């Protein structure tokens, strides 16, 4: 047995375990901003003036990927609800007050596989969700039968494609599906791919310019595309040097069936949140801004 080689191989794992014991795990949390939006301030170069409410998950869990929606005049937020014990996440939801307080949290969607990034959208008067199911190498479509916790699997938009954080956008009479796709020799956060269709049921076809972005500093989606002062903005994750360090706000310069181009024009790192080590999802609804963040906390054993 080569003892020095064995020690060298196991040293990183031991170091990681000791860091967890001393400082805890990195655990994600949700934040709601009822003040001046951080995204608008970053784009326009204005000083931020947020009014933030931070929400941590109960022991043994973390919350991430907030996607808000207004239903029946009430703002709701859907999010990844991860349990350390099961090493799997469900999609949970909660009503949100005008001041950013969360109401009762309940499970909205649970499946045999891990679920995250609950992208919500409406199409022809119906509410749909496209969660991240990268592990299954497909992109599934769920329809809401009764809000907020009754959903049915409608079908699969892409099969055989491992897409992280699928993000739908409607423009010029077409549907555009953005997501991080790992091709051969590429890492999960390195490349942004786009698929397009004339209708939700497809057929979906890859953009000829894929990967449309090959830069881990902004490729992976970080929330819905949105308009700011008439400019289309695509939030992307900065994963350079670590997963989900910040949200980069990219101005979409070209989006058509032949080409795609964008320019980074702002950045939200969640530094306004005490102890935050990075943010990777940003969305808006109901006059509120939603983002996530992560801090080091001691993991508490709890039923997951």
Tell me, what's the pLDDT at 47?
Answer: 87
User: Under CATH, which number does the domain 24-297 receive?
Assistant: 2.115.10.20
CB atoms within 10 A of CB 21: 10
At 14, which helix (H) or strand (E)? helix 3-23
Give the pair of three-digit tokens for residue 253: 């310069």
Q: For residue 65, report the phi and psi dihedrals to the nearest 5 degrees.
A: 55, 60
Output the pTM of the full model. 0.90
In angstroms, the Cα distances linking 106 to 102, 206, 251 are 11, 36, 35
Do 269 and 41 form a contact (C-beta atoms < 8 A)?
A: no
Query: How far is residue 2's CA from residue 9's CA, in Å, rounded to a whole number?
Result: 11
Which residue in the block uniquely carries the two structure tokens 């008439």? 230
Instruction: Please state whether beta strands 288-297 and 25-33 pair in parallel, antiparallel, or not at all (unpaired).
Output: antiparallel
Query: Taking Cα atoms as reference points, which of 205, 196, 203, 206 lies closest to residue 175?
Result: 196
pLDDT tens track, the chain, 304 positions:
554 554 455 555 444 444 444 446 789 999 999 999 999 999 999 888 899 999 999 999 999 999 999 999 999 999 999 999 999 999 999 999 999 999 999 999 999 999 999 999 999 999 999 999 988 999 999 999 999 999 999 999 999 999 999 999 999 999 999 999 977 656 779 999 999 999 999 999 999 999 999 999 999 999 999 999 999 999 999 999 888 999 999 999 999 999 999 999 999 999 999 999 999 999 999 999 999 999 987 655 443 3
Which residue in the block uniquely carries the two structure tokens 């929330």? 223
What's the angle, vertex CA 277, arms to CA 232 and CA 244, rounded to 5? 45
Tell me, what's the pLDDT at 9?
Answer: 56
CB atoms within 10 A of CB 161: 20
Where do the domains of the chain lie? Answer: 24-297
């Amino acid at each position: 047995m080569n003892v020095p080689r064995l020690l060298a191989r196991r040293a990183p794992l031991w170091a990681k375990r000791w860091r967890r014991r001393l400082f805890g795990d990195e655990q994600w949390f949700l934040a709601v901003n009822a003040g001046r939006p951080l995204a608008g301030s970053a784009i326009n170069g204005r000083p931020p003036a947020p009014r933030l409410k931070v929400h941590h998950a109960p022991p043994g869990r973390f919350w991430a990927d907030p996607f808000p929606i207004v239903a029946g005049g009430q703002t709701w937020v859907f999010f990844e609800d991860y349990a350390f014990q099961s090493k799997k996440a469900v999609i949970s939801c909660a009503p949100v007050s005008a001041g950013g307080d969360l109401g009762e949290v309940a499970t909205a969607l649970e499946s045999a596989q891990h679920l995250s990034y609950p992208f919500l959208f409406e199409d022809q008067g119906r509410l749909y969700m496209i969660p991240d199911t990268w592990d299954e190498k497909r992109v599934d479509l769920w329809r809401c039968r009764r809000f907020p916790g009754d959903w049915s699997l409608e079908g699969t938009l892409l099969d055989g494609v491992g897409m992280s954080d699928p993000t739908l956008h409607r423009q010029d009479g077409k549907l555009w599906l953005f997501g991080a796709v790992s091709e051969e020799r590429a890492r999960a956060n390195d490349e942004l791919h786009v698929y397009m269709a004339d209708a939700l049921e497809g057929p979906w076809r890859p953009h000829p310019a894929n990967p449309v972005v090959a830069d881990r500093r902004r490729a992976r989606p970080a929330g819905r595309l949105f308009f700011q002062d008439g400019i289309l903005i695509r939030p992307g994750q900065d994963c350079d040097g670590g997963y989900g360090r910040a949200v980069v706000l990219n101005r979409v310069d070209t989006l058509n069936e032949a080409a795609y181009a964008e320019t980074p024009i702002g950045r939200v790192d969640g530094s306004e949140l005490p102890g935050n080590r990075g943010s990777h999802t940003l969305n808006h609804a109901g006059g509120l801004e939603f983002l996530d963040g992560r801090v080091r906390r001691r993991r508490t054993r709890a039923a997951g």
